[in-house]
Amino acid sequence: MDRYVNLPLSHARPSAGGSIAVASVLVGLATGCGPGDIGPTPIVQDSAGIETVRHGPLADYGRPIYPAEYILTIGDMEGPPEMLFAEVAGVELLDDGTIAVLDREAADVRVYSPDGSFLRRISRRGSGPGEISGDLTVAMVGIGDGRLLLPDAINQTVSIFGRDGGLLESHPWDIMQAYMPEWRAANDSTLAVHLWSATAPWHVLAHRSVSGALLDTLAVYAVRPRYNPADRRFPVWADMLVWSTREPDEVVAGWMSEPWVTLFRQGVPVRRISWDRDEALLTEEQHEILLGIVARNMDPSETPPDLRTMVRLPERLPAVADIEAGPELVLVQRVRPVERLDQRITYVNRGPSGFGGPLWDVFNSAGDYLGMLDLGAPADVFDIRGDTILGVREDSLGIQQPFLARLPAELRDPR
């Protein structure tokens, strides 16, 4: 069972004397359905002040699939270098309508006009002032007035650039060279970040100033160890914590392996949304595909004759690829098929990149299931600004295209 911990970090959130008060309530979910087609109803329970909305298999609801409305895609496989992307790690929509794209592989930020035309580059590979490592430039955050913040785990700095690309500020930060899934702007001077290292016992979601000062804690989860000393094997992928922010003091978080997400408000868990898994177990053929991915990421001289002695194969794919939160919405990404997975799933410092499929299950903030959002291709989503989705999608060849898309009208106003 996961523990929720609030500041101070040495104290767990007290339970209600270990007792559980349960009040089961059946709630009809007519949203997104035709007249008279209500479908299954979740069970709403209260446990020590945390409301739990429990769904059965989501396929049983018969909810619609809503295609995203694309506004702009950037990229041309046969175009100039500035239109080619290898590893997009951030997309930002600035206040003047321009779009900034962070490409780790190229170690730069490219800025495009509202119609997708290339305007300029920001930063370059290096360790000097205003330079980034690329490989462990862990995010890109817009912090108002056209400014972009780039945290770098190798250079151990946070650099802030102006809209013209000039370096405005640089601050030393103790950024862990490990999985840093998302950084978000809470306001123009405050960041929401995920703090974790391989030696710390906690995943901490916290507010920090742009200069690195810890301001307050949004949520804390106990670390789940990867290595099992009992069988001396490593899993194919780490069980990562994925999360997003709804309001400056609200966070939605969950483990990739678990079919649930939890909403926190001011550091306190207030609601859990869960559902029953109904996907099939992985086949032997699919296990062989996963072993092939692991083998491609190893030195042939160090690969044992039977990788199964080193690798613990999963029974299923993760339940969650990623989480995003929009106005009154919680979006939970479904994992792409095994056949579309690649080596990124073995890289802890790449976060959930490489897992995400085209489909997202959509809930409102009360936990009602509304249906699915279809992005049309496997995608990473970096943020939802109002009704605008910022992300990068991949075609069947793995070619990346940053995009802006609009939430369908039915999800913008689900009432």
How far is it, in rounded angstroms, from Cα 187 to Cα 195? Answer: 19
How far is it, in rounded angstroms, from Cα 398 to Cα 290? Answer: 18
* Side-chain half-sphere CA neighbours of 38 within 13 A: 8
How far is it, in rounded angstroms, from Cα 175 to Cα 163? Answer: 25
* Side-chain half-sphere CA neighbours of 116 within 13 A: 14
157, 158, 164, 166 alpha-carbon torsion, rounded to 10°: -30
Dump the DSSP string for 53-112.
Answer: EEEEEGGGG---EEEPEEEEE---TTS-GGG--S-EEEEEE-TTS-EEEEETTTTEEEEE
How far is it, in rounded angstroms, from Cα 98 to Cα 118? Answer: 10
- What's the pLDDT at 348? 67
Strands (E), 234-387: 234-235, 241-245, 250-255, 260-265, 268-276, 311-312, 322-326, 329-335, 356-364, 369-374, 379-385
How far is CA 37 from each of CA 26, 28, 30, 98, 363, rounded to the nearest angstrom?
16, 10, 7, 43, 18
Q: Which two tokens stand for residue 392?
A: 């990068």
End-to-end CA distance of the chain: 35
- What's the pLDDT at 406? 96
* AA identity, residue 264: F
Nearest to 382 by CA among 100, 89, 137: 89
Mean pLDDT per 10-residue interval, the chain, length 415 residues: 33 34 35 48 87 95 95 92 93 94 94 96 93 88 92 90 93 69 80 77 87 88 80 87 87 95 94 95 96 88 83 94 91 94 81 87 95 95 92 88 95 74
- What's the pLDDT at 132? 93
Domains of the chain from N-terminus onward: 64-267+316-412 (2.120.10.30)
Report whether the peptide linkage leading into residue 8 is cis, meaning its omega lies within 30 degrees of zero.
yes
- What's the pLDDT at 302? 77
How far is it, in rounded angstroms, from Cα 110 to Cα 148? Answer: 11
Nearest to 327 by CA among 246, 413, 407, 415: 246
Strands (E), 104-143: 108-112, 118-122, 141-142
How far is it, in rounded angstroms, from Cα 264 to Cα 203? Answer: 14
Residues β-bridged to residue 190:
187, 209
Q: Determine the 3-state secondary structure of 345 from DSSP.
A: helix
Q: Work out the number of other CB atoms within 10 angstroms of the CB of residue 98.
A: 17
- What's the pLDDT at 29? 36
Q: Are 410 and 354 in contact (CB under 8 A)?
A: no
How far is it, in rounded angstroms, from Cα 113 to Cα 10? Answer: 48
| Contacts for 164 with CB less than 8 Å, ≥ 6 apart | 120
